[in-house]
Structure 1
């Protein structure tokens, strides 16, 4: 009886995470399209804005995508003049990625990110009881902790 309940609850948690992932992905895709980008491209732009000069490996890790996938996204953004690749003189084997000054000059990336967050999360929680939001955040943190604690090393 208890095992059936655990299986039912596990299935429901997985279903809810998939649903959240799908909804967030659709919102991100719709948002990115307004600016003429794909969802992965806008994610790269936001990450490079936050961490200029990171390597392709670091960016791949942050985005939880393969290096080859991120490399393709970066190449398209380089061709569009959005991203620049820099080879530091100190380590010529490393390539650092950044947002181009021209793109930053013509686009307010911080406001773009705020608009995305507002459209996906802020507008929803704005009308919620702040204590309920904190409970939700705490529950998500606890679940993340438990998942990490019980994952194979």
Structure 2
């Protein structure tokens, strides 16, 4: 490839990369907005429902581990947990064999009154499935393939370093 063609190709690649970044930002904003709207339907904030889903999947998790899983600071998750404990959604347990840790779980009362699996399914339906329901199967396959390919390219680029 000639030097002029290489520069033109680099410029085109940079422009396309900018478009991809803008698309991801827009998708992130849309996802957060829809997630927050869905959470409100259940009477929770988006971070609270995220914590609820994680506690359902990983009962008896510690605050440190939970904050890592939801990618929020420990103090933020601690505040969310305090509010959910006050609402009767979450219980704190201090194991007798190790009084230095606190395990967090959804309360039995909350699990009896709420079908967390259905809640999670509703979120997926409201956020992603509804957006894709009128897309032709071939186009949907192309979208999934393109996202997986981009992820693969980004990962292989990491291993080159």
Q: Match of 2:33?
A: 26
Measured in 1, the distance between the counterparts of 2:145 and 2:57 equals 25
Counterpart in the other structure of 1:71 = 78
RMSD: 2.0
Aligned residue among 97, 114, 122 for 1:107: 114
CA distance in 2, matches of 1:58, 1:149: 28
C-alpha offsets along residues 37-68 of structure 1, whole Å, 9 cap, x if unaligned? 11110111111112211222221122111111
Deviation digits for residues 116-139 of structure 1 (CA, Å, limit 9, x no counterpart):
111111122233233433332233
Larger Rg: 2
Number of residue pairs matched?
A: 153
CA separation of 1:145 and 1:51: change in aligned 2, threshold 3 A: farther
2-structure distance, mates of 1:151, 1:71 = 34
Range 71-80 or range 122-131, more displaced: 122-131
**Residue 60 of structure 1 aligns with which residue?**
67
Q: 1:37 to 1:150 in 2, by over 3 A?
A: same
SS of the equivalent of 2:44 reads coil
Structure 1 unmatched ranges of 5 or more: none
Question: Is 2:128 the counterpart of 1:121?
Answer: yes
Change in CA separation of 1:49 and 1:142 when aligned onto 2, cut-off 3 Å: same
Name which of structure 1's ranges 13-22 and 107-116 shifts more when overlaid on structure 2: 107-116
Moved more, 63-72 or 14-23: 63-72
1:85 paired residue number = 92
**Between 19-28 and 133-142, the greater mean CA deviation after superposition:** 133-142
TM-score scaled to structure 1, two decimals?
Answer: 0.87
| Residue from 127, 144, 151 that aligns with 1:137 | 144
